Structure 1
Amino acid sequence: MSVHPLCPPSAPSDPDGALARLADHYRSMPPVAAMDIRIEGYDGHCLRLSAPLARHVNDKGCAFGGSLASMMTLASWGVVSLHLERAGLKADVFVADSQIGYLAPLFADLAVEAEAAPGANWETFIATLRNRGRARIAIVAHARLPEGGSATEFAARYVAIAKP
């Protein structure tokens, strides 16, 4: 894994309600609701989430590694789900596998960004799901340090299985 550039800033504009539906879905899961996750932006490619450090602090005063892993998993799941919704497809989305690297402690609120991995193609993913009823895509995510760079990097494959 390597540090990738930060997602461009974007306001959480939500004209079709997709981000509100995603936020509702996150809140519908009790463990996720307890994380106090907020959707900070989505530009059609990159989803940005945040959560207060106070909800995720460990015994060293920095962000708990499990919280960082969970937030990157949720952001990655969310970006896949948003692309499926935009394509008008209903599918169950699962994380197939993931790899995480902890690069530096994070002593600030959690800010996570997720997007398709370099070389991954949303059009191919959507077409494969339509044709085969199942598709997978590589996603990358990271937790930003306030001074720039990444505290944590995440790479995963997500699988979508079409609903009948």
Structure 2
Amino acid sequence: MTTLETTFEQKLFELIPQTRNLGIQITQIADTELHVRGSYALNKNHLDIVFGGSIAAISITTAWSLLQHKIQQAGLTGNLVIKQQEIKFLLPVHSDFECVATLQSVQDWPLFLDSYRQRGRAKLVVNAHILCEARVTSTFQGVFVLYQPS
């Protein structure tokens, strides 16, 4: 983990304190994706699999983090929130796992920037998936909105 990941992770924990309790670690931030390592031990349920609520929360957090990082890189300010999300649980998670978030389409990013600069509001779709033992165990798609505070 580089200084970029460590710094962003610390900022995430400050902005959204609950994320500290998810047992996550940001392991890689790139231009088009962000990787988070998740802890099985901190997220398992009574069935000895990772709790679906944790999977959903970590997927949202990872997707939000990717977009928040790109927004900061672009020098934008505003409030980033999730508007809508869909998650599909494909397989149970029995060990530590990774969540990877990506933009639905890199071509959407310039449109997002233009919309925000012109209207003070923009939305973008971000995808994420959970990997455990080299298998995709869930898929997530979220619509995020960046808006100027009133």
Runs (4 or more) in structure 1 with deviation over 4 Å come to none
1:91 to 73, 78, 83: 78
State percent identity of aligned pairs: 21
Q: CA deviation at 1:20?
A: 3.6
Unaligned runs of 5+ residues in structure 2 are: none
More helix by share: 2
- Distance (Å, rounded) in 1 between the aligned partners of 2:120 and 2:89: 35
Choose 79-88 or 20-29, whichever is displaced more.
20-29
More strand by share: 2
Q: Is the 8 A contact 1:114 1:139 kept in 2?
A: yes
Which position in structure 2 is the counterpart of 1:151?
137
2:62 to 61, 75, 92: 75
Letter in 1 for 2:73: R
CA separation of 1:21 and 1:160: change in aligned 2, threshold 3 A: farther
Number of equivalenced pairs? 149
Unaligned runs of 5+ residues in structure 1 are: 1-11
Letter in 2 for 1:92: N
2:36 to 41, 49, 55: 49
Matched, 1:134 2:118: no
Choose 34-43 or 96-105, whichever is displaced more.
34-43
In the TM superposition, what whole-angstrom CA distance separates every residue of 1:92-136 from its partner, at most 9, and x where no partner exists? 100000000000001111310111114751111111111110000
Q: Is the 8 A contact 1:68 1:110 kept in 2?
A: no
- TM-score, scaled relative to structure 2: 0.91
Partner SS for 1:62? coil
- TM-score, scaled relative to structure 1: 0.84
CA separation of 1:50 and 1:31: change in aligned 2, threshold 3 A: same
CA separation of 1:96 and 1:35: change in aligned 2, threshold 3 A: same
